[in-house]
Every structure is written in structure tokens, then in C-alpha cells.
């Protein structure tokens, strides 16, 4: 039975790859177009500092989007990634600042918190059969509340451990090549993207992520442990939320317990713009990364042009609708 699915899946995946590739190409072309337009409109846009600024601004949302991409491809949704990120950053802060744990232990605590939340999400969805929309909506609130409870409603600062901020905002590349001061958070983003891409395209977990999203029943009938792999997918998303939590803590030099809600929507938007289908079974990490860059580049450009806030929101929303519409048109043409 297992062999049956494995035999079926490469053929299926090659066609998927091809249709994905079109959307990725479209998204990439859109990103280039956005960059060109802003470069023409403002001389301050295409400068080294600003490009680095965009890279940094993409890190948190991009990493959240990586995790949610897996969940969406598997045919579920995870609304809790934003507040789980917050809870993770608070846990990191509690370990480092209040319990004086070494920085690496604190980072591990943050990432583990994310993983734990993911395991709970996965169990609720796969074992208790609660629809993922509802289960993760519940987790959104649980994590938000716990972040406030654990932090005592106060931001926790990393003032005693300047290394923590430096690890994220310092530049290893700048140390090797003077002048090329790209902060380490950007490396973390690309490192995570690379790992996510490898998991999705070369491992069993990746193959079953697609299998769950394309046809869960068929996967079950061919002997796939649906419950186990679903939990694994949510756990992976939780781990990425945990990493994002550590990064946001490092960048703000503090764990801010009251932010986080709404971040999940930007992450989902990044995945969708990048060609991940909300009905499951389709998507790619490269697409999601491009999607995240489209959002951050657009936001940055509109801010540089001092476009009023209310219009910035309208434009970003419009882009998401346009991206999904293009995706639907493309699909229809293929059929």
C-alpha cells in the first residue's frame, strides 16, 4: 500500500511542480515590478540600507509563513502562529532574564514552546477531529492569554544579555566582508527557508504533507498514519513560530506580550501570494518566500513614499485578492 502511494506521488508532483512554477514566476515578476516602480518613484528606495531594511522586515513574517505553508499544503490552517510566536518570545525572556539561563537554553525554551503548541494543535485537529480553523483559533487565544499571564502583563527586557540582541542584529557577513553588514536575522530567514524547502521536497514528511492536502482519504487508505503526520506538520509550524518568537524578542530587545495577533494573517497572505492553495495539496517554499518579500517590499515602499496609512492597508489587501484571483484564472486554464 505504501509503495502504491509512493509510486503515484512523483507523477502527480511533477504536474504540481509545473503549475506551481507558473505562479512562482508570476509572483517573482510582480516582486521585480514592485521594486522597479518604487525605484522610479523614490531615489531613496533602492539603496543598500533600505534593501537590508526590507530583508530584516521580512524575517519574522517570512519564518511564520514558512510554517503555515506546510499546514496549508496539508489541507488545514493555523491561525495561532502569531500569538504562539509571542508566547515563545515571552518564554525565552523568562528563561534568560528571570531565571538567568544561558542564552542558548533560552532560545531552546522559546522554540520548544512553539513546538509544544504545535503538538497540541496537531492533536486537537488530528486526534480529536476539531476543525483546524476552530482548534487553532482557540490556541490563538490560549497562547495570547498565557503570554500575558506568564509575563505578568509587562514587557520583559534582555538588558542584562546584550549578546542576545547582538546574535540577531549583528552581522557575521559584515565581519568577513567589511561593508556588507547584513544582520544575522536575514541569514536565519534564508537558513530556515532552505531547511523548509528541503523538508518539503525531499523528505517523507514533505511527501505526506502534499498527500494529506491532495486527498486525505486516499492517503489513509494507502496506509499512511494520517494522525501522526498531521501532528508532525503542526509541530513544524509551531517550531517556526518559536524561531520567529526568538527573533522578534532579539530584535526588540524585549518580549512584548501584547503584540502578535494579526501576524498570522500576513503570514497566510505571504503563502497565498506565493501560490500555496488554500484548498491544500499545492505550494512551495520559494513561492512563500517571494510572497513574504512582496508584502514587506510593498509596505516599505509605500511608507517611503509617505502614502497615508489607510491607503497602505487598502493596497496590501488588494494585492492579496489579485494574487488569489490570478491563481484561480491559471487553474481554470489548466483544466
Partner 1 sequence: MSSRSMRVFVALGAAMALLVGACGGQPATTGGASASTSAKLFIPMISKGFQHQFWQAVRQGAEKAAAQYNVTITFEGPENESQVDKQIEMLQAAINKKPNALCFAALDSKAAIPLLQKLKDQNIPVIGFDSGVDSDIPVATAATDNIAAAAAAADKMASLIGMSGDVAIVAHDQTSRTGIDRVKGFTDQIKSKYPNIKIVSTQYGGGDQLKSTDITKAILQANPNLKGVFGANEGSAIGVLNGVKESGKSGKVVVIGYDSGQQQMDAIRSGEEAGAITQDPIGIGFKSVEAAWKVLNKQSVPKNIDTGFHWYDKTNIDAPDIAALLYK
Residues that bind partner 1 (CB under 8 A): 42, 44-45, 47, 49-50, 53, 56-57, 60, 128-130, 148, 153-155, 157, 159, 169, 248, 251-254, 256-259, 299-300, 303-306, 309-310
Closest CB 66 distance from partner 1, rounded Å = 18
Closest CB 71 distance from partner 1, rounded Å = 22
Taking the least distance from each CB to partner 1, the nearer of 46 and 205 is: 46
Cβ neighbours of 3 (radius 10 Å): 9
Closest CB 7 distance from partner 1, rounded Å = 32
Taking the least distance from each CB to partner 1, the nearer of 311 and 325 is: 311
- Rounded to whole angstroms, the Cα distance separating 109 from 104 reads 9
What's the distance, Cα to Cα, between the start and end of the chain in Å?
A: 29
Taking the least distance from each CB to partner 1, the nearer of 252 and 278 is: 252
- Rounded to whole angstroms, the Cα distance separating 270 from 261 reads 16
Taking the least distance from each CB to partner 1, the nearer of 205 and 304 is: 304
Closest CB 135 distance from partner 1, rounded Å = 11
**Main-chain dihedrals φ then ψ at residue 156, nearest 5 degrees:** -110, 130
Closest CB 198 distance from partner 1, rounded Å = 29
- Rounded to whole angstroms, the Cα distance separating 247 from 253 reads 9
Name every residue whose Cβ is closer than 8 Å to that of residue 131 and which is 6 or more positions away in sequence.
125
Closest CB 53 distance from partner 1, rounded Å = 5
Strand partners, 255: 156
21-43 in b/e form (b: 16+ CB < 10 A) is ebbbebbbebbeebbeebeeeee
Taking the least distance from each CB to partner 1, the nearer of 100 and 303 is: 303
Taking the least distance from each CB to partner 1, the nearer of 17 and 153 is: 153
Closest CB 39 distance from partner 1, rounded Å = 13
Strand partners, 157: 254
- Rounded to whole angstroms, the Cα distance separating 53 from 51 reads 5
Which residue intervals of the chain are DSSP H helices? 2-41, 48-73, 81-93, 103-122, 132-151, 162-169, 172-176, 184-202, 204-214, 216-221, 226-252, 263-273, 285-304, 309-334
Closest CB 183 distance from partner 1, rounded Å = 8
Report helix, strand or coil for 170.
coil
Taking the least distance from each CB to partner 1, the nearer of 197 and 256 is: 256
Taking the least distance from each CB to partner 1, the nearer of 26 and 250 is: 250
Strand partners, 156: 255
Closest CA to 62 of 180, 194, 163, 255: 194
Amino acid at each position: 500500500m505504501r509503495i502504491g502511494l509512493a509510486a503515484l506521488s512523483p507523477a502527480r508532483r511533477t504536474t504540481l511542480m509545473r503549475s506551481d512554477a507558473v505562479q512562482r514566476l508570476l509572483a517573482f515578476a510582480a516582486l521585480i515590478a514592485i521594486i522597479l516602480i518604487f525605484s522610479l518613484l523614490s531615489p531613496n528606495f533602492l539603496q543598500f540600507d533600505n534593501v537590508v531594511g526590507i530583508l530584516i522586515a521580512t524575517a519574522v513574517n517570512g519564518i511564520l509563513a514558512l510554517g503555515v505553508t506546510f499546514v496549508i499544503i496539508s489541507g488545514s490552517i493555523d491561525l495561532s502562529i502569531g500569538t504562539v510566536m509571542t508566547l515563545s518570545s515571552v518564554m525565552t525572556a523568562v528563561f534568560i532574564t528571570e531565571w538567568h539561563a544561558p542564552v542558548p537554553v533560552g532560545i531552546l525554551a522559546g522554540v520548544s514552546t512553539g513546538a509544544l503548541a504545535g503538538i497540541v494543535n496537531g492533536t486537537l485537529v488530528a486526534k480529536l477531529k476539531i476543525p483546524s480553523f476552530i482548534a487553532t483559533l482557540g490556541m490563538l487565544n490560549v497562547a495570547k492569554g498565557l503570554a500575558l499571564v506568564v509575563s505578568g502583563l509587562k514587557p520583559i527586557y534582555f538588558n542584562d544579555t546584550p549578546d542576545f540582541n547582538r546574535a540577531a542584529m549583528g552581522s557575521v557577513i559584515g565581519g568577513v566582508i567589511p561593508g556588507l553588514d547584513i544582520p544575522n536575522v536575514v541569514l536565519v530567514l534564508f537558513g530556515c527557508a532552505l531547511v523548509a524547502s528541503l523538508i518539503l521536497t525531499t523528505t517523507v514528511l514533505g511527501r505526506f504533507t502534499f498527500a494529506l492536502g491532495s486527498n486525505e482519504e486516499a492517503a489513509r487508505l494507502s496506509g499512511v498514519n494520517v494522525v501522526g503526520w498531521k501532528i508532525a506538520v503542526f509541530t513544524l509550524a509551531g517550531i517556526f513560530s518559536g524561531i520567529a518568537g526568538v527573533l522578534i524578542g532579539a530584535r526588540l530587545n524585549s518580549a512584548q506580550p501584547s503584540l502578535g495577533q494579526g501576524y498570522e494573517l500576513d503570514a497566510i497572505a505571504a503563502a497565498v501570494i506565493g501560490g500555496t492553495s488554500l484548498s491544500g495539496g499545492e505550494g512551495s517554499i520559494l513561492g512563500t518566500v517571494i510572497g513574504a518579500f512582496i508584502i514587506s517590499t510593498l509596505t516599505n515602499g509605500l511608507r517611503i513614499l509617505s502614502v497615508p496609512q489607510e491607503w497602505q492597508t487598502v493596497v496590501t489587501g488588494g494585492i492579496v485578492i489579485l494574487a488569489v484571483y490570478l491563481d484561480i484564472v491559471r487553474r481554470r486554464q489548466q483544466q
